[in-house]
Amino acid sequence: MDIVLAVMLVGVAGIGAQWLAWRANAPAIVLMAVAGILLGPVFGLLRPEETFGDIYQPAISLAVGIILFEGGLQLKFDELRELSKGVRRLVFPGVVFAWTLGFLAAWQLAGLSVPTALVFSGIMVVTGPTVIMPLLRQAKLTSRPATLLRWEGIVNDPIGALLAVFVFEILHLTHPGGEGATLFQAAGSLVIGTTLSAVWGWLLGFFVAQSFRRGWVPEFLKTPVLLSLVLACFGMANGVQEEGGLLAVTVMGVTIANSKLPSINQLRQFKENIAILFVSGVFVMLTANLTFDVLFSLTWKDILFVAAMLVLVRPLAVQASLAGTAIEKNERRLVSWIAPRGIVAVAVSGLFAAKMVELGYEDGAKMVPLAFAMVFATVLAHGFSIGPLAKRWGLAQVGRPGVLIIGASPWSAELGAKLKELKVPVLIADSSYRALRQAKNKGLETFYGEILSEVSEHHIEFVKYDTVLALTGNESHNALVCTDLAHEMDRSRTYQLSSRGQEEHRRNLSYAVQGRPLFAEPIGLEGLMRRHYGGWGFQLTKLSDEYPPETFLEAIGEESLIVAVERDGQLLFTTQNGSLKPKLKDKVLAFVPPAVIEGRSRREPKSEEVEQLEAAKEEALSDLEEASGLTPS
């Protein structure tokens, strides 16, 4: 097959599987595996190793290196705090426990020879970002178990590969046809090579951070320079120590992630996009490269080995590693079960299988089908179980997603209270403690602090919310919040107040940095506050055959503001660039004038009530002026 056509098939199949998984809320890694099997063994449309020839293995290796670097960019030491001991224990002695128990299973159950079992069990300690990241994105875990699984998967990936290198180098050097080296010499060579690889990764990461911070690299070249240096890091480290490039790029990524670069978010998002492309492509290529001979070469002993790795080796290794730590019981149970293997396990197994056969260990050929069996078994078992188990154990978002409101005011507090009536979780965030008072009085959850601070990530479970409403009086701050959280929430679910909308004007913000303008007409917080103190209020109405949309719209009048509509269990907000027309069976939340509010007394307020109203108005507008620089009148 033509290489261009092959790349097209891989790209369409991989990204198509990711999109279908998003639409169906299914494990993406499972659909990518299915896509690869359909293209390869089933229909015979794609044979990557034959099509790409000599560049197949190097391309896979480079892709894995970039994926691991992107994973390292996600690892910030600030995340660890009370979890640092748990992460350390999962690495050591966790890797030792997993390696030892995995060796016993491979030796006794799969029937591998001792040398082959040692190499293969070393590879099987990896979990890896190629499968962990899609699972975490799908399951929406809370931060603690997600942090444990992410750190373990990314840190243990190069460690597992290096364990295989360690055993193989000893076998190679002590083999009758080898160099006659001692165990001490082989171990010393590996330690030196590993140390040099780690130092090389740290030096390049430090150099990138310093050069970007000091302005030695222009903005338009930062991403190309970074990608070039990642490839250099991987290639040169591999030249020093086989598979040392995996460790080097991981260390480089972690170094940059913790250097507090101002442009780190842009770099991280670009690298994540590349990683998604590579994960999709590489996994499709690896599964498409399978044959039915490989798939059907497994025996009942191999199946028993896979089952033991899932239900005995992993749980025992994790429980022993985390004993005596502050990790909660349910968190341990989830981490004990979730350990999907992915690209690194398959790629490294394929590399060492051929080398073991060359050394005379014929059972080395079994490493490839066993690796794929582990990948498919863990991807299917963990991919379909992580969501239900996490929800059952209280470690994931349960129920309908919530709304995160940025900017506390009497108006946003009233809105939050109405959304709460719809059983929608609401969190109101503001850097003014006094401004949060009304929200607290209404029983709403609040966050006192700057939402754009990195500290907020440690106090807010963002997975609980899928919508952002930026409702401060400062439109520039609203836009910045929407832009910053768009990657977390999805830009289509970020809304902001804007008194000028998105029309072209020199005082307007660019549409590219704004959230979706809330309401059909431009209106800012000051305008809403004037209406609020003028007696306007929220009205929640269920439309039906007896009270159709036409009657409802006529009743509230053109002056009223439709805020949101609940339709088929989904909350939709009104925007300027999309008409939201109420339909039958909708629940409509509108902000309406006093005359429209049902049952409202039309009597004139007493003078004492007037004084209280004016005092409350002055206090609220004072808060608004302090927060945004507006001058209320």
28 and 110 part of one domain: yes
Average pLDDT over residues 380-409: 88
Predicted confidence band of residue 618 (pLDDT cuts 50, 70, 90): low
pLDDT of 243 higher than 80: no
- Indicate the DSSP class of residue 604: P
Q: What percentage of the chain has pLDDT greater than the value 70?
A: 89
Total domains in the fold of the chain: 2
Q: Which of 39-53, 259-273, 276-290 has the highest mean pLDDT?
A: 39-53
Instruction: Please identify which residue in the block is written with the tokens 């169906």.
Output: 24
Are 378 and 418 members of one domain? no
436 inside domain: yes
Separation CA 165–CA 114 (nearest Å): 15
103 and 178 assigned to the same domain? yes
Do residues 283 and 258 both lie within one domain?
Answer: yes
Strand, coil or helix: 242? coil
**27-41, 224-238, 487-501 — which one is most confidently predicted on average?**
224-238
Residue scoring higher pLDDT (386 or 505):
386
Res 309: pLDDT: 95
Q: Would you give the end-to-end CA distance of the chain in angstroms?
A: 72
The Cα 144–Cα 137 span in angstroms is 14
Confirm whether 314 is domain-assigned. yes
Asked whether the predicted pLDDT for residue 171 surpasses 70, the reply is yes
In angstroms, rounded to a whole number, what is the distance separating the alpha carbons of residues 324 and 304?
31
pLDDT in tens, 303-359: 999 999 999 999 999 999 998 888 999 999 999 999 988 777 877 887 788 888 888
Confidence band for 599, pLDDT divided at 50, 70 and 90: very low
The Cα 152–Cα 90 span in angstroms is 7
DSSP 3-state percent helix, strand, coil across the chain (nearest 5): 65, 10, 25
Residues 305 and 354 in one domain: yes
pLDDT of amino acid 343: 73
* Strand, coil or helix: 563: strand
Partners of residue 590 on adjacent β-strands: 539, 562
Cα(36)–Cα(350) distance, integer angstroms = 17
What is the distance between the alpha carbons of residues 235 and 244, in angstroms, rounded to a whole number? 9
Confidence of residue 5 (pLDDT cuts 50, 70, 90): very high
What is the pairing mode between strands 445-448 and 402-406? unpaired
Question: How many C-alpha atoms does 632 have within 13 Å on its Cβ side?
Answer: 22
Please tell me whether the peptide bond between 93 and the residue prior to it is cis, using omega within 30 degrees of 0.
Answer: yes
Q: Which pLDDT score is estimated for 358? A: 85
8 A C-beta contact, residue 516 and residue 577? yes
Round the CA-based radius of gyration of the chain to a whole number and report it: 29
CB 525 within 8 Å of CB 574: no
CATH number where 36 lies: 1.20.1530.20
Give the pLDDT of residue 580. Answer: 78
pLDDT band at 613 (very low <50, low <70, confident <90, very high): low
Q: What is the pLDDT of residue 446?
A: 94
Q: Which of 121-130, 219-228, 579-588, 606-615 has the lowest mean pLDDT?
A: 606-615
Arithmetic mean of pLDDT, 253-264: 85
Query: Is the pLDDT reported for residue 430 higher than 60?
Result: yes
Give the best-scoring range by mean pLDDT among 44-48, 226-230, 380-384.
226-230
From 344, 364, 392, the end of a domain falls on 392
109 alpha-carbon distance from chain centroid: 36
- Return the bridge partners of 396, or none: 141
Structural domain for 479, as ranges: 402-628
In a domain, 124, yes or no: yes
Distance (Å, whole) CA 78 – CA 94: 22
Strands of the sheet containing 494-496, edge to edge, are: 445-448, 426-430, 402-406, 465-470, 494-496, 516-517
Do residues 370 and 419 share a domain? no
Residue type at position 534: G
Give the contacts of 87 (CB within 8 A, at least 6 positions apart). Answer: 80, 147, 148, 151, 152, 155
Is pLDDT of 82 > 70?
A: no
* Token pair for 300: 């009942």
Residue 600 above 80 pLDDT? no
Q: Contact, 279 vs 343, CB < 8 A? A: yes
pLDDT (tens digit per residue) in 494-546: 999 987 655 555 456 666 667 888 988 888 899 999 999 999 999 999 999 99
Taking residues 157-177, report their average pLDDT: 77
Which one-letter amino acid corresponds to residue 407?
Answer: G
pTM of the predicted model, to two decimals?
0.73
User: Helix, strand, or coil here: 523?
Assistant: strand
Q: Are 476 and 509 in contact (CB under 8 A)?
A: yes
What is the per-residue pLDDT across 61-79, written as a single tens digit (0 to 9) for each? 888 888 888 888 878 887 7
Out of 295-299, 561-565, 612-616, which region has the weakest mean confidence (pLDDT)? Answer: 612-616
Q: Which residue has the tokens 């899932």?
A: 310
Q: Which are the contacts of 437, defined by CB distance < 8 A and separation ≥ 6?
A: none
- In a shared domain, residues 56 and 119: yes
Alpha helices in 422-561 (DSSP H): 437-441, 456-459, 475-489, 525-533, 549-556
Q: Which of 392, 427, 443 is the last residue in one of the domains?
A: 392
Does the structure show a pLDDT above 90 at 273? no
Residue 633 domain flag = no
Mean pLDDT calculated for residue range 434-443: 92
Residue with the bigger pLDDT between 380 and 598: it is 380
Question: What are the structure tokens assigned to 336, written together?
Answer: 């004990």
Is 495 in the same domain as 608?
Answer: yes
Q: Which residues contact 263 (CB under 8 A, 6 or more apart)?
A: 212, 219, 222
**Rounded average pLDDT over 600-623:** 52
- Lowest-confidence pick of 224-233, 270-279, 374-383, 419-428: 270-279
Mean pLDDT of all residues belonging to the chain: 84
Same domain flag for 541 and 503: yes
Give whichever of 29-38, 99-108, 457-466, 604-613 has the largest mean pLDDT. Answer: 99-108
Q: Do residues 427 and 352 both lie within one domain?
A: no
- Same-domain check for residues 36 and 179: yes
Please list the residues that pair with 448 across neighbouring strands: 430
Whichever domain contains 503, its CATH number is 3.40.50.720
Give the pLDDT band (50/70/90) at residue 590.
very high
Question: Does 85 lie in the same domain as 216?
Answer: yes
In-domain check, residue 62: yes
What are the tens digits of pLDDT across the range 116-166? 999 999 999 988 676 787 788 778 888 889 889 988 888 887 888 788 888
Last-in-domain residue among 362, 392, 422: 392
CA of residue 340 relative to chain centroid, distance: 16
To the nearest whole percent, how much of the chain has pLDDT over 90?
Answer: 35
Q: 620 pLDDT band (50/70/90 cuts)?
A: low
